[in-house]
Chain A
Amino acid sequence: MSGFIFSEKQEKEVARIIAKYPFKKSAMLPLLTLVQRDERVVSPDAMVAISKKLDCSPAYVQSVMSFYTMYHTEKVGKYMILFCINISCQLNGCDKLLEHTAKKLGIKVGETTGDEKFTLHREECLADCTRAPMMRVNDTYYGDLTEQRIDQVLDSLD
């Protein structure tokens, strides 16, 4: 039986999202995003719940969700760090900074800290290349990174 139920608040949001589209399947990504943001993971049960909302097979939900990199089947940290390593950032020394960040957090790239606070991911271009090197922590973009700036940003998060 499904261990995931949309909360009352989520139900409202689901209804609002579905109303944006003439065909409800369009709400697929927004609903997955809603779940990912609220739960920090998209569990199989949540996929089933979404499939029921959108009247499609759970396999289809999984097929779609597994195509995109922002959905996770393992719970991510409270702060999701997407560290850009693409060309403009590479030219500006991001590789060293990423290493620094991983070391600081005591994890490897792709991992989550033991206290579930941070997850660190290598990320393709995030479209802030003129402020390279840059990273995104949850919704916020941080540019012109240096080791000091990274420390400062991460330390300021609680």
Chain B
Amino acid sequence: MSDNEVTLTIDGKSVTVPKGTKLVDAAKRVDVEIPVFCYHEKIGALGCCRMCLVEVEKMPKLMTACTMDVMPDMVVKTTTEKVEKAQKGVLEFTLLNHPLDCPVCDKGGECPLQDNVFKHGSPDTRMEFHRHNNAKATALSPVITIDRERCIACQRCTAYSERIEQDRGLVMLNRGFHNEVGTFNNEPYDNRFSGNVIDICPVGALTNTDFRFKARTWDLTNVETLCAHCGCNCNITMGTRLNELMRVEARPNDAVDDGWICDKARWGHQFVHSENKISIARENSVGDGKPTSFPVLPHDCAGEDAAGKAAEAFKKIAEEHGPQSVGFIGSPYATNEENYLYQKLFRLGLGSNNIDHKVYQDTPGLPVSHYDVEQIETSNVVLLIASDPTEELPILDLRIKKAVTHGGTRLVSLNDQTIALDKYSTQSVQYKVGGEALAIDALTNGLARELGESASAQGDSGISADDMKSLVETVRSSMKICVVYNPSALSGEAVSGVKRLLKMIAKVPTMECGAIPAAPMTNAVGAMDMGLLPDFYPGGVPMSDEEEIKKQWGENAPTATGLSALEMIARAEKGELKALLVHRSNPVMDFPGGAQVTEALKKLDLLVVHDMLETETAKLANLVLPSNGPGYDEGTTTNIGGRVQARRKALQADQAPDWKIISLMLNVLGDETDYGKVSDVTEEIARKVSGYQQISRRSVGKTGCNRDSVISADEQASAKPVQAGTNGSLRLRIATFLFAEDKVLDASSKLAHHFQSSTAHFNEEDAGRLGIQDGNTVLLSAENVNLEATAKVDNRCQPGGVVVPRVSDGQRVNGLISADGNTAWVEVRKV
């Protein structure tokens, strides 16, 4: 036994636990269940409800097991007469003014109060006065209902707001018997994480407005699956009834979400039953009205049949025009299995490396360990590069706040915009919009100098020498650092710069260094790993490694670097790319280049879109294949921390799952593998993709399994100076906004109250020059796209830049970027 462990006896059972463990938690280890209301492992001790009283030898009073740290040789008894009497007493007090409306309470059947009364309470009440009538159900927010009369004032929810969310939106008001849970001036309690209070309320006081009275909890079929909104891949339980999704709850997994989910996970699921769902394969007539080079489909054709025809069509075009004439734009939202099969289909079935899933630069793998999110808590420094977790990866925001406030981790942010987490950082360093590559190189060079290595000269990133110096010092002296960077917010070659930086940090003696590539998209890491890239095979194998490629994939595997997504669009425009398959992606809306994208896609001989919701791109397709999407999907995804977990299906679809459709296409193209179940694909991934050897249905289980770090190939390119814009124009930074109104969160969403209108954030200097004031309407234009926005002069970025959060599809904000994806200079004019 180490110094950090304590051995004690609970109800005659000896248990050894780490120092600092609370008695309640120690008891659980030996299956002694001490009843609680207010205690929650993740929130910490409160000592409010007094339900957990136990007898501790040599202590005169009964002690609360939730507040008490274990001590060596402690002897604890939880079932003595004295304890039972106290428990009865406390329950009597608790129920004194609690309505006995269990039959109509949403918590019925899963209510800790009910359970505790059943186990420890007395069957009848001695209360003979009128119960205090507190307010019945009222709206706490558009999505949460509060029944104040059921509240037992345990303070879990308010402590959650204080300690976990840390914005103290939900508070205890008044005093004593008049205590009540509330908000400032009765305003809604409405933020990114509000729904968690529903899960933690031990009675039916806080309930899900959407779920109220919809079903009894015991009638639900609960499926343990994953949220598909962002790269955190939080664990959730989907409760369904008669093939309808009734509710989503958190399913605690320390390695991923620490027990919390964001409100988008909980309420952003209307899309599973959306009217816009693509439920059947269909043929469109586009252009001159005739589907070109495509065999005609029968009416109401099933996805499988349509897939076969699509495969044949692609094969024909590839044979006629060469493999370079076909391409695939995949999705960072799709599962590993789907992505794996699609790349296999294009590479081995059609001989093309024209495969991609993104419009920014990135390469698979890291030169240092790929940290999982738990490592954040044990790091001395977390360095955020171009990352805004609050909007992009909300649960990561909670993890970072926890590390900073409870664990003594220091947060440092390097970004071109201010972010919500700046409040928690010891240093926030801002570079000019577009200056990331230079800023990152400057940091690398600073470290190099400290380490006595040569460092090249550099351009101006907008960071002062002092700021850079102290940043270098913080990083150098950090002992253990976790670098969290968002590749999708880095322009140009900056991502190579990050990898050089990581290598340099790793050179600091006694430094432990790891990184988390934190792109917001659900399976961005998986898409990279699965080789949805023009220049890498799965597992980060570069095209240059022919030997390895031939060994793994056979002699015929193509080794010429393919086209990137943006290049495919450009070639389509020139008529050189003839056929394109788009899986769960919407280039028309999300790609740079404005109207050019549409024009390019229209020129294709064949456009197949395989997606779950109607999109602008699907409208242009010759053939649309149905994809069932989250809720129906099965397979695995890899989160930002490299953890592979199972996305299980909670709902039955009419259509074949995506992986099945793709495997049918593969068969048509001559692949003879018979994938009977999705796990057959998973097993093939384990055999073929380096880093995934350990992954199997079994190893992934309920809580997932980390894949091994993927080592990156060498990075070459170095930063070029920031390109200047035309006279007076500003460099655009598109920021993520969690509750954007798009295909997934449409107007019918329960979260529609979060939607925002367009805003453009300026630095005072530019605003002054352009005569713009807070609240003015401005017009941003580039690439023949115009965007109207309300100006906010809040110095969110340095002079010369403008930050526009992507708040809706309607904005078409990505259209402001030039088609090559590099330049984003916008003209700004007051209207």
Contact = CB atoms under 8 A, between A and B. Distances in A.
B716 interface: no
Contact of A57 (B168, B172, B175, B182): B168
A57 B167 CA distance: 7
Given A56-B168, A57-B167, A57-B169, A62 B175 contact: no
Given A47-B184, A62-B184, A67 B175 contact: yes
B185 A60 contact: no
Interface string B155-178: 000000000000111111111000
A30 B182 CA distance: 24
B253 interface: no
Contacts of A44: 184-185
A57 B174 CA distance: 16
Most buried by B among A58, A60, A63, A67: A63
B378 interface: no
Interface string A32-71: 0000000000001001000000001111111100111000
A66 B173 contact: yes
26 contacts: A47-B184, A47-B185, A56-B168, A57-B168, A57-B169, A57-B171, A57-B184, A58-B184, A58-B185, A59-B170, A59-B171, A59-B182, A59-B184, A61-B184, A62-B171, A62-B173, A62-B182, A62-B184, A62-B185, A63-B171, A63-B172, A63-B173, A66-B173, A66-B174, A66-B175, A67-B174
B175 A59 contact: no
B174 A59 contact: no
A135 B818 CA distance: 77
A141 to B, nearest CB: 24
B16 interface: no
Interface of A: 44, 47, 56-63, 66-68
B183 interface: yes
Interface string B770-795: 00000000000000000000000000
Given A59-B182, A66-B175, 4 more contacts: A61-B184, A62-B185, A63-B173, A68-B175
A47 to B, nearest CB: 7
Contacts of B170: 59
Contacts of A60: 168, 171
Nearest to A48: B184
A58 B182 CA distance: 12
A29 to B, nearest CB: 14
A112 B555 CA distance: 94
A56 B161 CA distance: 13
A106 B175 CA distance: 29
Closest 4 pairs (CB-CB, A-B): A63-B171, A59-B184, A58-B184, A57-B168
Contacts, number: 37
Interface in B170-198: 170-175, 182-185
Nearest to B158: A63
Contacts of A57: 167-169, 171, 184
Contacts of B171: 57, 59-60, 62-63
Contacts of B175: 66-68
Contacts of B173: 62-63, 66
Contacts of B183: 59
A47 B168 CA distance: 14
Contacts of B168: 56-57, 59-60, 63
Nearest to B423: A55
B418 to A, nearest CB: 16
A58 B187 CA distance: 11
Nearest to A69: B175
B190 to A, nearest CB: 12
Interface string B72-89: 000000000000000000
Contacts of B184: 44, 47, 57-59, 61-62
A62 B170 CA distance: 11
A57 B166 CA distance: 10
Contacts of A68: 175
Nearest to A64: B171
A135 B533 CA distance: 82
A57 B162 CA distance: 10
A44 B173 CA distance: 14
B121 to A, nearest CB: 31
Contacts of B182: 59, 62
A59 B183 CA distance: 6
Contacts of A61: 184
A68 B173 CA distance: 10
B557 to A, nearest CB: 58
B802 to A, nearest CB: 26
A95 B132 CA distance: 27
A62 B158 CA distance: 13
Contacts of B174: 66-67
Contacts of B167: 57
A42 to B, nearest CB: 12
Contacts of B185: 44, 47, 58, 62
Nearest to A67: B175
B187 to A, nearest CB: 8
Nearest to B161: A59
A131 B185 CA distance: 41
Nearest to A43: B185
A78 to B, nearest CB: 26
